[in-house]
C-alpha cells in the first residue's frame, strides 16, 4: 500500500491557517472582562455545556485542517508488476500418501507431520519467486493436477494449505507423478522447466514406471530435483483406537537410490531432509540455483481519498457554525 499527496504544496496553507487560528484563540482570551470578587465562583459546578464549549476552537482547527488536506488530494495506491519475460516453469510434485502422517518433524518444540513441515517450507519458497509460473501435482496411489501453471502465488499457497493426506490414495506412484508433471509443463512453453519431486517412500503404484518417466524427462530436458523427506525405519504415527488416539510405530521405507537416479538422469539434484532445518535449506538452495533474470514494469494504481477528508472537514465546520451561533453563542 502506497500513500501520497497529488498536490503536496497545498499543505503549505496549513502554516498561515494554524497561525491565524492560534492568534484568534489568544485574542479571545485577551478580550475577557476582568472584575473583582469572583473567588466564590470557583465552587460553582461546571456544566456539561461549558465543558463541550471548550472543544469549539479545536473543532474549527480540525475542520479547516481536514479541508486543506483534501485540497492536497491524498491518494492511496497498490503497486502492480507486469512481467516482461517467460521466467521458469516449476511443477511442485508433492507426496500425499499415508506415510506423510509420520510424526518425525518438530517446529517450535511441537511434533508435526511430514506434510505440515512441507507446507510451511514450500509456501515460503513460492513467495520468494518472482515472474515464474508454478504448478502443483499431488500423488499417492494416483497422481493428478492440483493446480496448473500460474503466477498467482497467493492461490498456490491457498491450495497448498488445504492438501489432505490420503486424498490421492495410500500408496506412492512416483512415475505417474512425473508423467503428469511433464504434461503440465507442456501447457506453457518456457526455456527452463523443472520439477521438484518430494516424497517419503518408494514407488509402489501407478501405470508409468519412474524409469520410463525420467527417460521422457531427459529427452525433453526437464530438470528434476528430488527430495526424500523423513527418516527410515520405524516412525511414530497417531492412530485412532478403541480407547481414543494413541501413538504407534510403523515401518517406513525410502528408495534413496531411485531418487538419486532420477535427479542424476535429468541433470537435477538429490536432497535428503530428515528435519525441518534441512528441509528449509534445501528449498533455499533450489531457490538460489533456479534464478532467472526477470524484466518487470512497475506502476501504481491510485485511488482518490480527498472526498473523505473534505466531507469530514465540512461536517465539522458546519457543526462548529451551528453550535457557536445557537447553543454556544457568545454575546459581545
| Predicted confidence (pLDDT) per residue in 26-51, tens digit | 766 555 555 555 555 555 565 666 67
Higher pLDDT, 79 or 186: 186
> Residue 169 above 80 pLDDT?
yes
> Residue 257 above 90 pLDDT?
yes
**For residues 46-62, average pLDDT:** 73
**For residues 174-193, average pLDDT:** 92
**CA-to-CA dists, residue 49 to 54, 294, 297, angstroms:** 9, 65, 59
Residue with cell 534464478: 291
Cβ distance 238 to 245 under 8 Å? yes
Confidence of residue 22 (pLDDT cuts 50, 70, 90): confident
Topology of the domain covering 85-289? Rossmann fold (3.40.50)
> Residue 223 above 80 pLDDT?
yes
pLDDT for position 97: 93
Confidence of residue 241 (pLDDT cuts 50, 70, 90): confident
Confidence of residue 54 (pLDDT cuts 50, 70, 90): confident
**For residues 70-92, average pLDDT:** 78
Residues 6+ apart with CB under 8 A from 130: 81, 294, 296
The beta strand positions in the chain, using DSSP E, are 2-5, 74-83, 88-95, 105-107, 110-112, 133-139, 143-150, 192-199, 223-229, 233-241, 244-252, 270-273, 296-304
> Residue 236 above 60 pLDDT?
yes
pLDDT for position 218: 96
State the chain's mean pLDDT as an integer.
Answer: 85
**CA-to-CA dists, residue 117 to 71, 95, 197, 308, angstroms:** 52, 13, 15, 46
Cβ distance 154 to 202 under 8 Å? no
pLDDT for position 298: 65
Confidence of residue 25 (pLDDT cuts 50, 70, 90): low
Poorest-confidence range of 39-48, 94-103, 217-226, 255-264? Answer: 39-48
Cα 253 versus chain centre, distance: 35
Q: How many CA atoms lie within 13 A of 5 on its CB side?
A: 12
> Residue 227 above 80 pLDDT?
yes
- Give which of 159, 157, 146, 166 is closest to 100, Cα–Cα: 166
CB atoms inside a 10 Å sphere around CB 109: 5
- Work out the burial of residue 110: count CB atoms within 10 Å of its CB; fewer than 13 is exposed, 13-18 middle, 19 or more buried: exposed
If phi > 0 it is left, if psi is from -120 to 50 it is alpha, else beta; for residue 267 that is: left
> Residue 80 above 80 pLDDT?
no
Confidence of residue 116 (pLDDT cuts 50, 70, 90): very high
**For residues 137-146, average pLDDT:** 95
User: Domain-by-domain residue ranges, the chain?
Assistant: 2-31+43-78+299-324, 85-289
**For residues 77-97, average pLDDT:** 79
Residue with cell 456539561: 48
Poorest-confidence range of 123-127, 220-224, 241-245, 308-312? Answer: 241-245
Confidence of residue 151 (pLDDT cuts 50, 70, 90): confident
Residues in the chain: 332
> Residue 79 has which C-alpha cell?
503497486
Helix (H/G/I), strand (E/B), else coil: 306 = helix
> Residue 60 above 90 pLDDT?
no
Higher pLDDT, 251 or 23: 251
287-299 pLDDT, tens digit per residue, is 887 766 656 566 6
pLDDT for position 34: 56
Answer positive or negative: Cα dihedral of 182, 184, 187, 193.
negative
Instruction: State percent of the chain over pLDDT 90.
Output: 44
Cβ distance 238 to 101 under 8 Å? yes
Between 56-71 and 306-324, two packed helices, what is the crossing angle to 10 degrees?
150
Q: Per 3-state DSSP, what percentage of the chain is helix, strand, and coil (rounded to 5)?
A: 45, 25, 30
pTM for the full model? 0.64
301-314 pLDDT, tens digit per residue, is 788 888 999 999 89
**CA-to-CA dists, residue 32 to 28, 39, 256, 265, angstroms:** 7, 16, 92, 94
Amino acid at each position: 500500500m502506497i500513500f501520497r499527496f497529488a498536490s503536496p504544496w497545498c499543505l503549505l496553507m496549513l502554516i498561515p491557517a494554524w497561525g491565524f487560528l492560534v492568534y484568534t484563540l489568544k485574542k479571545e482570551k485577551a478580550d475577557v472582562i476582568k472584575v473583582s470578587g469572583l473567588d466564590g465562583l470557583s465552587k460553582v459546578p461546571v456544566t456539561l455545556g461549558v465543558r463541550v464549549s471548550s472543544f469549539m476552537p479545536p473543532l474549527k482547527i480540525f475542520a479547516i485542517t481536514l479541508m486543506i488536506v483534501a485540497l492536497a488530494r491524498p491518494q492511496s495506491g497498490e503497486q502492480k508488476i507486469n512481467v516482461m519475460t517467460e521466467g521458469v516453469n516449476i511443477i511442485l510434485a508433492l507426496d500425499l500418501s499415508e506415510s506423510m502422517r509420520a510424526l518425525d518433524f518438530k517446529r517450535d518444540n511441537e511434533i508435526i507431520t511430514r506434510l505440515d513441515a512441507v507446507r510451511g517450507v514450500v509456501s515460503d519458497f513460492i513467495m520468494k519467486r518472482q515472474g515464474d509460473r508454478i504448478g502443483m501435482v499431488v500423488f499417492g496411489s494416483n497422481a493428478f493436477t492440483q493446480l496448473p501453471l500460474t503466477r498467482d502465488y497467493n492461490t498456490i499457497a491457498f491450495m497448498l494449505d488445504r492438501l489432505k493426506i490420503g486424498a490421492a490414495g495410500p500408496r506412492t506412484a512416483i512415475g505417474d507423478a512425473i508423467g503428469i508433471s511433464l504434461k503440465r509443463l507442456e501447457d506453457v512453453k518456457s526455456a527452463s522447466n523443472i520439477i521438484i519431486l518430494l516424497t517419503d517412500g518408494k514407488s509402489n503404484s501407478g501405470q508409468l514406471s519412474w524409469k520410463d518417466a525420467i527417460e521422457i524427462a531427459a529427452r525433453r530436458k526437464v530438470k528434476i530435483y528430488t527430495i526424500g523427506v523423513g527418516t527410515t525405519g520405524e516412525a511414530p504415527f497417531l492412530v485412532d483406537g478403541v480407547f481414543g488416539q494413541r501413538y504407534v510405530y510403523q515401518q517406513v521405507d525410502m528408495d534413496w537410490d531411485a531418487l538419486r537416479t532420477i535427479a542424476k538422469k535429468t541433470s537435477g539434484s538429490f536432497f535428503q531432509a530428515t528435519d525441518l532445518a534441512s528441509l528449509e535449506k534445501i528449498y533455499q538452495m533450489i531457490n538460489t540455483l533456479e534464478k532467472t533474470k526477470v524484466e518487470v514494469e512497475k506502476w501504481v494504481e491510485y485511488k482518490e481519498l480527498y472526498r473523505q477528508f473534505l466531507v469530514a472537514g465540512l461536517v465539522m465546520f458546519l457543526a462548529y457554525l451551528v453550535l457557536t451561533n445557537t447553543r454556544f453563542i457568545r454575546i459581545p
